[in-house]
């Protein structure tokens, strides 16, 4: 099936900076878009999803059959991993939305996964060249044991059908994993006993471990971003609220705020997580003296992992403000 790509090259749209993400649910028009190879334009009629590989029964589901399966909705943050070869560069491209679709486990149950299967490979209908690699399909993988009650084949975004740039007719959605793993324009799912051989799983999106072993860019590390005050804000001496969002593969257990560039830290209040939603944190602050100030936020997740100060995909967020006299 020939698929038209419009555009037929890397496409990015980043509508909101961190201080503009004031709404809990990101409106669809404000959701970021990262399409490595461009945007396929796919008609619902004629589209289908195949499930094959290490399964007892191969499946082929058209959109009507997919929507006839039990449907679910999930609120989840969704974050871009950033530059695939720059794990030291924080991008903070993130949104929080409501996805709708069918659980992947429902589909795999009908296919009957064989015992030797260890990984789920997913293929999109986007094709072309990215970072010197020419491919017929964007392809990724994830461990089979990550297919829990949350991973889904999504057909809706914020209560409406997926827009073309977000993966229409259907996409994979892996909450808690970086967005690169949630394959858009989903065409095929393969159960396998090993990792997929794709540039997007081998040459790209692998971070070096201390011993040099490549580590897949899968689970989102704990992160937080300040919404208010905004960068370059001029504050007076009255009490102000510092607030923002925190998120990660695991629930964020605590957020600390520094108003002196990281010399001292205070615990912020943080709300509990619902599903995979981002979590609001806040702290009341009354400036003690006029002049420039650097406000910082760092999150710690339920495992104890904490945001590093710099040179990381999830490095601590800093906002420069001025306190008036």
For 13-63, the pLDDT digits (tens) are 999 999 999 999 999 999 999 999 999 999 999 999 999 999 999 999 999
Instruction: Return the percentage of the chain with pLDDT > 70, whole number.
Output: 99
Q: Is the pLDDT of residue 1 over 70?
A: no
Buried b (16+ CB within 10 A) or exposed e, 135-152: bebbbbbbebebbeebbb
Q: Give the start-to-end residue ranges of the domains of the chain.
A: 4-216, 223-323
pLDDT (0 to 100) of residue 213: 81
Question: What is the residue-wise DSSP string for 232-289?
Answer: T-EE-SS-EEEEEEEE-SSPEEEEEEESSSSSS-EEPEEPPP-TB--EEEEEEE--SS
CA atoms within 13 A on the CB side of 35: 30
Buried b (16+ CB within 10 A) or exposed e, 213-234: eeebbbebbbbbbbbbbeeeee
175 Cβ contact partners less than 8 Å away, ≥ 6 residues apart: 74, 76, 77, 150, 151, 275, 276
Instruction: Return the percentage of the chain with pLDDT > 90, whole number.
Output: 94
pLDDT tier at 208 (50, 70, 90 boundaries)? confident
Q: Is the pLDDT of residue 317 over 70?
A: yes
pLDDT digit string (tens) for 252-283? 999 999 999 999 999 999 999 999 999 999 99
Q: The pTM is what?
A: 0.96
pLDDT (0 to 100) of residue 209: 78
pLDDT (0 to 100) of residue 40: 97
Question: How is domain 4-216 classified at the architecture level of CATH?
Answer: Alpha-Beta Complex (3.90)
Longest dimension (CA), the chain: 73
Q: Is the pLDDT of residue 316 over 70?
A: yes
CATH of domain 223-323: 2.60.40.650
Q: How far apart are CA 153 and CA 171, in angstroms?
A: 6
Same topology, domains 4-216 and 223-323? Answer is: no
Average pLDDT value for the chain = 96
């Amino acid at each position: 099936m020939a698929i038209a790509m419009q555009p037929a090259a890397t496409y990015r749209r980043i509508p909101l900076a961190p201080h503009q993400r004031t709404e809990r649910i990101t409106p669809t028009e404000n959701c970021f878009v990262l399409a490595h190879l461009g945007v396929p334009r796919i008609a619902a009629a004629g589209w289908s999803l195949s499930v094959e590989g290490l399964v007892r029964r191969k499946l082929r589901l058209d959109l009507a059959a997919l929507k006839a399966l039990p449907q679910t909705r999930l609120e989840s943050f969704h974050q871009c991993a950033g530059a695939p070869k720059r794990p030291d560069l924080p991008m903070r491209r993130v949104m929080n939305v409501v996805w709708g679709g069918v659980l992947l486990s429902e589909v795999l149950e009908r296919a009957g996964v064989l015992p030797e299967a260890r990984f789920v490979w997913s293929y999109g209908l986007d094709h072309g060249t990215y970072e010197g690699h020419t491919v017929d399909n964007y392809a990724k993988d994830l461990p089979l044991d990550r297919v829990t009650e949350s991973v889904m084949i999504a057909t809706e975004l914020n209560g409406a059908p997926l827009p073309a740039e977000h993966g229409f007719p259907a996409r994979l959605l892996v909450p808690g994993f970086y967005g690169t793993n949630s394959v858009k324009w989903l065409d095929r799912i393969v159960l396998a006993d090993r990792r997929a051989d794709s540039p997007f799983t081998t040459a790209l999106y692998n971070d070096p471990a201390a011993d040099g072993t490549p580590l897949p860019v899968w689970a989102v590390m704990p992160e937080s971003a300040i919404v208010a005050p905004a960068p370059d804000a001029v504050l007076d001496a009255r009490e102000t609220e510092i607030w923002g969002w925190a998120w990660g593969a695991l629930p964020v257990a605590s957020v600390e705020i520094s108003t002196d560039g990281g010399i001292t830290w205070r615990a912020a209040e943080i709300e509990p997580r619902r599903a995979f939603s981002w979590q609001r944190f806040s702290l009341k602050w009354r400036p003690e003296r006029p002049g420039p100030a650097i406000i910082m936020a760092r999150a710690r997740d339920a495992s104890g992992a904490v945001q590093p100060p710099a040179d990381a995909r999830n490095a601590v967020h800093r906002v420069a403000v001025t306190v008036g006299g």
